[in-house]
Structure 1
Amino acid sequence: MNTRNVLEDVLPKEQDISFFEENGYWLSPVIFSDEELKEMMEHQDRLYRGEYETGREPASNWIEGRDRPGALRKTDNSHWADLTLRKLATDPVIGSIAGRLMKADQIRLFHDQLLYKPGRGTGKESVNVGWHQDYVYWQCCSEPTLITAWVAFQDTDLSNGSLQMVPRSHKWGMLNINDFFEQNMEKQEEEMEIPENERFAPVPMIMKAGQVSFHHALTIHGSGANNSSSPRKSMAVHMMTGDTTYRYSPKGDHHFNAQMMQGREGERFEGDAWPVMFDASKGN
């Protein structure tokens, strides 16, 4: 991607930033070409065969012939293992957009998740992603100063399990229902304790291949089953502002990023483990 040519066309404008601040999410124009997406998906398949270009394994990975074919495939830190996926996970355009939406001078990669939601033809599992707020898993960070970019490798809508956002939910604080792996989303909704005068009204992210959705770490989101015959492929790029610091938390310290920070209470997440994706001081 030629960053200089496309950056101004895809960066959020003032009205987009206002929309994000009010609703907790924003949908970009198409950023990645069909050729780029094809290469990303080819490298995604390499990981599932256990082929690690760098010689380093991801933090976790689904492996062909070992794991259930009908299960949701969630690979944590694919950028450790593959240079093409690392390029995506540290993409400066994604970082620049996140910087504008978060009004931050610096954006670093927190971690990435390569995702594969199988279609109905691969098994009988529904493979929903339950309603959750990302920050519930990231309480090793002292504040919810994090944002996620979800990159659609294919066209997505409700038929193949598109991501769904709950507007304004980033203003509700931490809720009582948070479970990425919960399959009964209706039960979650029934038991969710939301503030008075607010509405739980999910909005599906209807996206073209190469579009990117952004959401705040407190925005409630989830996705239904993929009822199509093809898998739904994507990557979630989890980012943090440059001033994000580590704190010990029993609820968040199992996270592999927290394990790298143990003993560094109050220090920023800095260094090679958390690459800089945007830095206003350097004009990018």
Structure 2
Amino acid sequence: MADERLKVLSQHLRGAATQYPGISPCDTSAVAVAAHPAINYTLNNGVLTPEQADFYEKNGYLVIEKLVSPEKLEKYRECFELLCKGEMPKPPTLTIMRDVAIAKAEFVPGQKAVTKIQNFQDVPEMMHYCRLPELLKYVEAFTGPNIMAMHTMLINKPPDPGTKSSRHPMHQDLYYFPFRPAERVVCSWTAMEKVHRQNGCLVVIPGSHKGKILPHGYPQWEGGVNKLYHGILDYSPDKPRLHLEMETGDTVFFHPLLIHGSGTNRTTGFRKSISCHFASADCYYMDKIEDVQNSAESELEEMARMTLKKRGIDPPTLSMKDIWYSKARLVHGQPGTMC
């Protein structure tokens, strides 16, 4: 009964799913098959060198240089701009988010202070990123051969208006996720242009993936905080941080417990990146989330209800599990417990 309800809610939340023409979500031609058991955070399947695997095990992240070509990134950029201008069909599942401090401003015609688009799983031209063989080759080193795309984003960090609202507080992605085990979840984050400290590159705390989910909430910033930009409460900025400066096409893979964030964009241009959280299709959804995730669940439920109400649907209950089940898409291998 519960499974049937989950499927019905998923159909409402998903809308009409689409596939990228010419690319099979289950194409295994370019990806090696995992043949050995997990170490801790990586899989011994011949994808990573011993040095790369050891680095990820210790630090919780790994940068692969020039993984995605500039030509492919330009296609995603064009698609983003068309969506912002309303010149491309916008699926009901797509979320467009704007900077809290500059929602009425417009640095670039058509982008209108958009900070990111989320949930592009039903935009075929952008889901192309999540099915790139060169990307999935590395993803499999963390998830195994059966891969789900769980959370998709194109981040468009705008020039800061002087309020420092372009910052993203230090946080852990697992705080938002109701699926486990965390060791079989990984984020890919690809720089769509050169990212550096001036335009707000990623900041990470190496080794923090070995901890647990910490309490999160909205930081008390004078300039305001963007929607769902929760940060670790009582976070101490004295902890040793590393700024990940990257070139166009460089991709960082990181663990969902890794503490990370990004700084203020002090340039006059937008800083774009595209990302996806992947999970093994053989992970499982939690029937009960951890107590520290309650705030995230409430806010995600509120946003999901707003989406459903626009379609005349008002379910009596809606959990974090329902929401993420609706977003999940199989992009490689065989269906599992997450499908």
Alignment TM-score > 0.5, same fold = yes
For 2:69 and 2:130, the matched residues in 1 are separated by: 16
Q: Deviations over 1:53-91 (max 9, x none)?
A: 4x51343114799755475612111232x3221101333
8 Å CA contact 2:209–2:259 kept in 1: the answer is: yes
The answer for the alignment partner of 1:148 in structure 2 is 187
The answer for the alignment partner of 2:92 in structure 1 is 57
Alignment partner of 1:97 is 2:133: no
RMSD over aligned Cα, in angstroms? 4.1
* TM-score for the superposition, normalised by structure 2: 0.65
The answer for the alignment partner of 1:83 in structure 2 is 124
The answer for the alignment partner of 2:270 in structure 1 is 231
- Which of residues 209, 215, 222 in structure 1 aligns to 2:261? 222
For 2:131 and 2:176, the matched residues in 1 are separated by: 21
- Which of residues 156, 159, 162 in structure 2 aligns to 1:124? 162
Alignment partner of 1:73 is 2:115: yes
Q: Taking structure 1 as reference, are residues 218 and 168 closer, same or farther at Cα in structure 2, changes over 3 Å only?
A: same
The answer for the alignment partner of 1:201 in structure 2 is 240
The answer for the alignment partner of 1:28 in structure 2 is 64
8 Å CA contact 2:217–2:232 kept in 1: the answer is: no
% of aligned pairs identical? 20
8 Å CA contact 2:297–2:320 kept in 1: the answer is: no
Q: Deviations over 1:97-153 (max 9, x none)?
A: 122034x23221002011101124xx3332100000001111x22442421111110
Give the 3-state SS of the residue equivalent to 2:138 in structure 1.
helix
For 1:180 and 1:94, the matched residues in 2 are separated by: 34
For 1:31 and 1:42, the matched residues in 2 are separated by: 20
* TM-score for the superposition, normalised by structure 1: 0.76
Which range moves more in the overlay, 203-212 or 28-37?
A: 28-37
The answer for the alignment partner of 1:133 in structure 2 is 172
8 Å CA contact 1:152–1:210 kept in 2: the answer is: yes
8 Å CA contact 2:119–2:152 kept in 1: the answer is: yes
TM-aligned CA deviation for residue 189 of structure 1: 8.3
For 2:211 and 2:224, the matched residues in 1 are separated by: 22
TM-aligned CA deviation for residue 221 of structure 1: 0.2
TM-aligned CA deviation for residue 240 of structure 1: 1.0
Q: Taking structure 1 as reference, are residues 16 and 77 closer, same or farther at Cα in structure 2, changes over 3 Å only?
A: same
The one-letter amino acid of 2:148's match is R
8 Å CA contact 1:48–1:63 kept in 2: the answer is: no
For 1:173 and 1:116, the matched residues in 2 are separated by: 29
The one-letter amino acid of 1:124's match is G
The answer for the alignment partner of 1:38 in structure 2 is 74
Q: Taking structure 1 as reference, are residues 280 and 205 closer, same or farther at Cα in structure 2, changes over 3 Å only?
A: farther
Q: How many residues align?
A: 265
8 Å CA contact 1:90–1:275 kept in 2: the answer is: no
For 1:177 and 1:189, the matched residues in 2 are separated by: 4
8 Å CA contact 2:168–2:262 kept in 1: the answer is: yes
The answer for the alignment partner of 1:192 in structure 2 is 235
Q: Taking structure 1 as reference, are residues 161 and 66 closer, same or farther at Cα in structure 2, changes over 3 Å only?
A: closer
8 Å CA contact 2:209–2:257 kept in 1: the answer is: yes
The answer for the alignment partner of 1:115 in structure 2 is 155
Q: Taking structure 1 as reference, are residues 14 and 68 closer, same or farther at Cα in structure 2, changes over 3 Å only?
A: farther
TM-aligned CA deviation for residue 170 of structure 1: 0.6
The one-letter amino acid of 2:115's match is R
8 Å CA contact 1:107–1:277 kept in 2: the answer is: yes
For 2:119 and 2:296, the matched residues in 1 are separated by: 17
Which structure has the larger Rg? 2
The one-letter amino acid of 1:191's match is D
